Amino acid sequence: MQIGITGKPNVGKSTMFKAMTLQDVAIANYPFTTIEPNKGYGYVRVEDVGPEFNVKSNPRYGFIKGKYRFVPIEILDIAGLVPGAHEGRGLGNKFLDDVRQADALIHVIDISGSTNEEGQYIGPGNYDPIKDVKWYEEEIDWWFYGIIKKNLEKNIRKIKNEHLQLDKELAKLISGLNVKEEHVSKAFNELKISQEDYDIINDDKRLFELASKIRKIAKPIVIAANRVDINIDIAKKNLERLKKEYPDKVIIPTSGYAELILKELDKQGKIFYIPGENYFEIKGDLNDKEKKALEFIENYIFKEFGSTGVQNILDITVFDVLKYVAVFPGGVDSLADKEGRILPDCFLMPPESTVIDFANKIHSDLAKNFVRAIDVRTRKFLGKDYILKHRDVIQIVANA
């Protein structure tokens, strides 16, 4: 799974990426700081199951902090888009090509209204960030439309002559966008498009509507209303307006800057901070600058917004929007692996995943030689078609 961090230039994308991953990236106050997408690992929070079994988990990947297990996911810091990117403006199509790798996109906007459409700094309150949501999504939709139209024009005669199912054939043609057949079929159903509606290729309006719907399903966008720290009052007003304008969108207020400070000080041992929480404990000596930063975070960011929002937006994107579930391999008789690590693994599984999918995720031989599964909590036997639930602890039994 890959989550793309994207948006126009100079809205704090690279700062947020660094806050998520603690990976060094170029951060500067000018457009196109990021030319190639930075890749790193962030973490989603899952309440650890170890305490339920009176054991201390020992993750092979990720880490435990407080009551949470932090499970790694791949994050892409994609360079900034500008209006007209699908026509080649800015670094245009290169950026859009980077987007194709992502399963979901976190669209970072400057909620303080400090940067114009081109990503140039113009001061808080001097630009309406609501505009960015509209043109940005249109850019991605136009890009999808162009690819769909081009591929259908090349293949529509063959599809029509052989009476092939339009949704299945289209899914094959755009699989390079990381679009699955079920995404396309769902879009066809929601728009009530027939499987043999081959003339849609001549109706640009309907074809764009289809492209937009496929994009919404295949690459959902969550909005990070970032830079709430620049001007709290302006941020709150713009956030309220944005939510009113787009009531159906997932919009999370964020401060990548505040999260980065907290993570860095935690890493240095000066504070203890659990990502996503609205508190920290001072553990070491702080200089005056650090004290002032922490006072601001505590008295303004935490008080006004509940947290920095950075951890929240990752968790919401993965578990609420993409609807993944976290599943732990374990044994009824032992929760340790051969090396003695207790509950070493936690797998993020797509929605509607079954026990057999889980077995295959652990090792293909387990799926091939599958006998049954056991719910470690209840000790009940589970069939191969059992649909996995969030925080399940499952033992797979297979023939040797």
pLDDT in tens, 215-262: 999 999 999 999 999 999 999 999 999 999 999 999 999 999 999 999
Which pLDDT does position 25 carry in this prediction? 43
* 304 and 343 in a common domain: no
Range of the domain at 384: 326-398
* 10 and 102 in a common domain: yes
* % of the chain residues with pLDDT over 90: 82
What one-letter code names the amino acid at 261? Answer: I
* 386 and 271 in a common domain: no
285 domain residue, yes or no: yes
d(CA 303, CA 305): 6
Strands 221-226 and 251-253: parallel
If pLDDT is split at 50, 70 and 90, which confidence band does 32 have? very low
For the chain, the average pLDDT equals: 91
* 160 and 205 in a common domain: yes
Residue 22 has pLDDT above 70, yes or no: yes
333-362 average pLDDT score: 95
133 domain residue, yes or no: no
Question: Which helix (H) or strand (E) segment is 107 a member of?
Answer: strand 104-110
Residue 207 has pLDDT above 70, yes or no: yes
314 domain residue, yes or no: yes
Which pLDDT does position 86 carry in this prediction? 61
Which pLDDT does position 127 carry in this prediction? 96
Tokens of 273: 């901070």
Which pLDDT does position 101 carry in this prediction? 84
If pLDDT is split at 50, 70 and 90, which confidence band does 30 have? very low
290 domain residue, yes or no: yes
Which pLDDT does position 188 carry in this prediction? 96
Q: pTM of the entire structure?
A: 0.91
* 205 and 176 in a common domain: yes
Q: 15-48 burial, b if ≥16 CB within 10 A, otherwise e?
A: bbbbbbbeeeeeeeeebebbeebbebebbbbbeb
* 360 and 290 in a common domain: no
* 160 and 116 in a common domain: no
134 domain residue, yes or no: no
Burial of 71 (0-12, 13-18, 19+ CB in 10 A): buried
* Total structural domains within the chain: 3
Tokens of 276: 């996503």
89-111 average pLDDT score: 78
d(CA 127, CA 163): 51
* 224 and 211 in a common domain: no
81 domain residue, yes or no: yes
* 315 and 364 in a common domain: no
3-state SS class at 90: coil
